[in-house]
Structure 1
Amino acid sequence: MGNTGPVRIKIPFTTTELDSWKEAVKDYRDDPEKISKRFELIVKNLDPDWGDIEIMLSALSDTERQMVMKTARTHVQAQVTSGALPGTVEMHVPRVDPEWDYNDDREYKLLKRYQEWIRLGLENAIPKTVNWSRLYTIKQGPGETPSEFLERLRVGMQKFTTMDPASDEGRLQLVALFLGQSTDDIRKKLQKIKEPDIRDLEKLVEEAWRVFRNRENQDRQKLGKTIATATIAAMQEKGRPNMGNRPRMRPPLRQDQCAYCREVGHWKRECPKQKMKPQPIVGNLREDQDSE
């Protein structure tokens, strides 16, 4: 604790964190908004100072870095000019390390604002390229719900075009995309809807959900039939006699083979092993009676 309250402690970057950032910004031009959000997350977790942010910006190409700084300074200039922000552009987006003190409230506020200016710069430095062809590659997946598919179309429209999905023009375009790029069974059903409902996005989504749920019910019924068929087949198989448990038949005897001990060279009545077999007691009693 300091004299005026808790002391802020700077958390240094680890090598792993820096490597992860460098890997992420390779795709900066393709998705500046994604990199901007990643930067925002790092700010929340690590609270980087001016020097840390310089290291992060150095992972960009020279051109990209210049564009980010120019965009950030342009935002500041607009607010300074309008009187909404006191001071100068250099005060808020300095080119050299201002050595802001973490534990000085006024300087710490300047650091927090600087972090936000850089985030805005990262988000807006790259002009959005209109690429309608990318939007037409967004197809509904077999297991994707109508709502999930519509959300992907909205995100794609924001990412690949300058059109606002919430605008009238954007909604009409979403209707066309939703109609044309849904799965086959949903698309065939939607194409049967009459005017003016076919231009109503909410009604299209509602009907798409009906088809989707009906498909799920049919899949469950098919699965139930498959399980039932497999169960019946297993029970029938279980009820059949097991041929493997039957006693195996002995091979036929040779002419000179004993039927009792299975050895070769004598017959059963001459088998020495049979003669060694103990005689029944009943037989002995009869012999004694005869002798009397």
Structure 2
Amino acid sequence: MGNKIAVPQNSPLGCILQNWDKFDLQTIKQKRLVFLCNTVWPKYDLEGQEAWPVGGSLNVNTILQLDLYCRRHRKWSEVPYVKTFMILRENPNFCKGRETNPTLLPILSRPLQSPQPGGLNDFLVNPPQPPLPETKEKEQAPPVPSSLYHTLSLDGSASTYTRPPGPRSGICPLPVVSRLTGPVQVQVPFSMHDLSQVKEDLGKFSENPGKFLEGFRKLTLTFELTWKDVAILLGQTLSLDERQTIWEAARQCGDELHLADANYPVGATAVPLQDPNWDYDTPAGICARNHMLLCLIEGMKRSQVKPVNYNKLATIDQGPHENPIAFLERLQETLIKHTNLDPGSPEGQLVLKDHFLTQAAPDIRRKLQRLALGTSAPMSQILKLASSVFYNRDQEERDRAEKKEKQKEERQAQLLAALQVHQPPPGCPKDTLPGKCYQCGKPGHWKANCPHGPKGEKPYTACPLCRKLSYWKGNCPESQKVPEPDHNSIWFELEGPSAVAGSLV
């Protein structure tokens, strides 16, 4: 085989290689196309839970997501290669031998409910207008049948609804199904309960755009939404200003895609204000619907305006038993929700490290300060050290307890040794003590029990005043002498028991 790579002929990539002369050969190369399709693109993290398969894909949503990913990350050299799959998608006759079985689309899981008169009044901004006049086209089966027909306008203009013709009884009319061969979608309208639940799950776009965007993306993946469904959802969950802002941003995104690739429709056609009546049982209708949802999601991303409040980060403190990783995740969520910084950017990392170092648990904070780990250290190193301190808390507490117990034992041993020093030597009477008395200089007793104390006996040592051996300090004549008055001083009494001497001038 050499350096050749085996590509299945029945795969989209194989069809492109077999019809190579029908594509733009000036901007693409075969080897690079095979390398991108089978090696590079499957590793891209596409939005909407899409993944590029090895061998290529003809799924319009997958191709659009790959095209947006390449444009968002400025991979302009790969965009022409992505277009080849879109061209193959629009020209299935290139591979006539390849079986192109129709894809079975999931039917909406919402239960069929009987429409109630006036039930949509809660979802419409303006009062309803008279029913639309019936035409001969109604006699034919519609491509997307529904038990409730409504015409909505996303710009807040006229909105009407009417019940399809039929007997007005308590029995819910059966949905009209097209008489075409193959799988056919049956459109079921949203119920009051569905809309209230969706509104609660999405929340307010102005307060938490990320939550709203993620919830709306999940709805587009779970249900096969039509233009009417999207109009009802946005009208119920968004304010008029938010709806207009998102719609304008979505149209601008559609215009940008059209300028980059003429195969895409202009923004006004891609994101229409009125129901375009797409046939969702055909590939063209599905492609148009997916392209509209893609532009709307991109418009929501561009329209989100978050209130910047850095003080919210200062209120996030690590709990005494909270894992450092969970604490860092809470800081990142607060940074995303209340600031315009990206946690992966250098500025976001600097802010996260600063708050992590100052708001961590006391023992973790002391350890980080002792090792002088500041905001210049990598976040991975700080998190690794914090996790080590967190998981070794029990061992450190045991070490501290053992250290205190050891110090206590050492103090007790020192005290016991000091008491043993003052014990009398073996063979001595119990009432005798080692050393000499400070009073008489004789061993065997304390100074307080000295028999030679001030009881008439002569002291053993000299008097500290007169340095004589005949008496104690208390009986020393020197201590009983009265000082002679100074002739140069005059003694006079003041009121009170004290007297003050003044010198003669």
SS at match of 2:340: coil
Distance in 2, matches of 1:32 and 1:196, equals 33
Change (3 A) 1:84 1:132: farther
Larger Rg belongs to: 2
Cross-structure match for 2:216: 39
* 8 A Cα contact 1:33 1:122, kept in partner: no
Gaps in structure 1 of 5+ consecutive residues: 222-292
User: Paired residue for 2:205, among 5, 28, 33?
Assistant: 28
1:6 alignment partner in structure 2: 183
Residue in 2 that maps onto 1:18 = 195
Cα 1:83–1:101 change in 2 (3 A) is same
Tell me the CA shift for residue 219 of structure 1: 8.3
Could you tell me how far 1:152 is from its partner in structure 2? Answer: 2.2
The TM-score, its normalising length taken from structure 1, stands at: 0.68
Choose which of 257, 275, 280 in structure 2 pairs with 1:97. 275
Looking at structure 1, the residues matched to 361 and 220 of structure 2 have their Cα atoms a distance apart, in angstroms, of: 42
3-state SS in 2 of match to 1:191: helix
| One-letter amino acid of the counterpart of residue 267, structure 2 | V
Deviation at 1:179, TM superposition (A): 0.2
Q: Deviations over 1:48-92 (max 9, x none)?
A: 110111111112111111111111112112222233652221221
Q: 1:48 aligns with which of 208, 225, 230?
A: 225
Structure 1 CA distance for aligned equivalents of residues 373 and 397 of structure 2: 32
TM-score of the superposed pair, with normalisation by structure 2 = 0.40
The alpha-carbon distance between structure 1 residues 205 and 95, as it changes in their structure 2 partners (threshold 3 A), is same
User: Among the aligned pairs, what percent are the same residue?
Assistant: 33
Give the counterpart of 2:389 among 184, 208, 211. 211
Distance 2:281 2:359 in 1: 56
TM-superposed deviation, 1:157 = 2.0
Give 2:388's aligned amino acid.
R
User: Per the alignment, do residues 195 and 182 of structure 1 end up closer, same or farther by CA in structure 2, a change over 3 Å counting?
Assistant: closer
Counterpart for residue 246 of structure 2: 68
1:154 matched to 2:335? The reply is no
- Higher mean alpha-carbon deviation, 211-220 vs 21-30, is at 211-220
The CA deviation at 1:20 is: 1.4
Note the C-alpha offset of 1:13. 2.2
3-state SS of 1:27 partner: coil
Shift of 1:172: 2.1
Q: What residue is the counterpart of 1:86 in the other structure? A: 264
Letter in structure 1 aligned against 2:206: R
Q: Distance in 2 between matches of 1:159 and 1:191?
A: 29
User: How is 1:256-267 mapped onto 2 (pairs within 5 angstroms)?
Assistant: none
State the secondary structure of the residue aligned to 1:94.
coil
Letter in 1 for 2:210: E
Q: Following TM superposition, by how much is the alpha carbon of 1:164 offset from its aligned partner in structure 2, in angstroms?
A: 2.2
Q: RMSD of the TM alignment (CA)? A: 2.6
1:178 to 352, 356, 364: 356
Deviations 1:21-58 (A, max 9, x none): 23345522011111111111112222211011111111
Which stretch shows the higher mean deviation, 49-58 or 19-28?
Answer: 19-28
Q: In structure 2, what is the equivalent of residue 57 of structure 1? A: 234
Q: Judging by fraction of residues, say which structure has more helix.
A: 1
Q: Which residue of the partner structure matches residue 379 of structure 2?
A: 201
Between 83-92 and 40-49, the greater mean CA deviation after superposition = 83-92
CA shift, 1:169, in A, is 2.6
Amino acid at match of 2:204: D
What residue number does 2:370 align with? 192
Contact 1:11 1:47 in 2 (8 A): no
Q: What letter is aligned with 2:337?
A: K
How many pairs does the alignment contain? Answer: 221
Unpaired runs of 5+ in structure 2? Answer: 1-103, 105-178, 400-505
Is contact 2:249-2:299 (8 Å) kept? Answer: yes
Q: Tell me which amino acid in the other structure corresponds to 1:45.
A: T
Alignment of 1:203-282 (within 5 A): 203-216=381-394
Answer yes or no: is the 8 Å Cα contact 1:12–1:46 preserved in 2: no
Relative distance call for 1:65 and 1:192 in structure 2 (3 A) is: same
**Match in the other structure for 1:131:** 309
Quote the residue 2:425 is aligned against: none
**Residues in 2 aligned to 1:118 and 1:216: alpha-carbon distance in whole angstroms:** 53
Is the alpha carbon distance of 1:15 and 1:218 closer, same or farther for their aligned partners in structure 2, counting shifts above 3 Å?
farther
The structural deviation recorded for 1:180 is 0.9
Q: Tell me which of the two structures has the higher relative contact order, counting C-alpha pairs closer than 8 angstroms and 6 or more residues apart.
A: 1
Correspondence for 2:285: 107
